[in-house]
Amino acid sequence: MGNYSEGHICQCLSRLANARRNVVVTISGDRQKTGEQFVEEVLCLARGLLELGVGAGDIVAISAFNSDLYLEWLLAIAFVGAIAAPLNYRWSPEEARLAMLVVRPVMLVTDESCHSWFSNLQHNDVPSIRWHVSLNSRTSDVMKIGNVLTTETLKRCSASSAPIDYCWAPEGAVIICFTSGTTGRPKGVTLNHAALIIQSLAKIAIVGYGEDDVYLHTAPICHVGGLSSAMAMLMVGGCHVIIPKFEPKSALVAIELYSVTSLITVPAIMADIISLIRKKETWKGKETVNKILNGGGGLSMELILDATLFFPRAKLISAYGMTETCSSLTFITLFDPIRETLGLHLKTVADTRSTSVHQSQGVCVGKPAPHVELKICTEDSAPVGRILTRGLHVMLSYWGQISAKTSDSSNERWLDTGDVGSIDEYGNLWLIGRKKGQIKSGGENIYPEEVEAVLIQHPGVIGVVIVGIPDARLTEMAIACIQLKENWLWSDTSFKHIDDNTKGLLLSGEILQCYCREKNITAYVHK
Q: Any long-range contacts for 138-145 (C-beta under 8 Å, 24+ apart)?
A: 138/112, 140/112, 140/115, 142/115, 142/118, 143/110, 143/118, 145/108, 145/121
Residue 476: Cβ within 10 Å count: 17
Alpha helices by DSSP H, listed for 319-375, are 342-351
pLDDT score at 110: 94
Q: Which is more confident, 457 or 402?
A: 457
pLDDT band at 499, cuts 50/70/90? Answer: low
Domains, in order of start, for the chain:
1-194 (3.40.50.12780), 440-527 (3.30.300.30)
Is the confidence at residue 20, as pLDDT, over 70?
Answer: yes
Is the confidence at residue 219, as pLDDT, over 70?
Answer: yes
pLDDT score at 349: 44
Per-residue model confidence as pLDDT tens digits over 258-311? 999 999 999 889 999 999 999 998 999 999 999 999 998 888 888 999 999 999
- φ, ψ for residue 268, nearest 5 deg: -65, -40
**Any idea what DSSP says for residue 494?**
-
* This model's pTM is above 0.85: no
Q: Which of 212-226, 351-365, 450-464, 490-504 has the highest mean pLDDT?
A: 212-226
Per-residue model confidence as pLDDT tens digits over 404-429? 554 444 445 899 999 999 999 999 99
Report strand pairing: 373-377 vs 385-390.
antiparallel
State the average pLDDT over residues 321-344: 84
pLDDT score at 339: 77
Amino acid at 324: E
Which residues of 323-380 form beta strands (DSSP E)?
327-335, 358-359, 362-368, 373-377
- Cα separation, 182 vs 185, in Å, equals 8
State the average pLDDT over residues 451-460: 83
Range with lowest mean pLDDT among 50-64, 75-89, 439-453: 439-453
- Cα separation, 314 vs 293, in Å, equals 10
Three-state DSSP at 495 gives helix
Amino acid at 84: A
pLDDT score at 403: 60
Range with lowest mean pLDDT among 350-359, 377-386, 433-442, 500-509: 350-359
Report strand pairing: 385-390 vs 315-322.
unpaired
Torsion of CA 448, 451, 452, 456, to 10 degrees: 180
Mean pLDDT over the full length of the chain: 85
Report the percentage of the chain scoring pLDDT > 90: 58
Range with lowest mean pLDDT among 107-111, 246-250, 350-354: 350-354
Range with lowest mean pLDDT among 59-63, 119-123, 217-221, 421-425: 119-123
Cβ neighbours of residue 151 under 8 Å, at least 6 residues apart? Answer: 45, 69, 72, 73, 109, 133, 134, 135, 136, 137
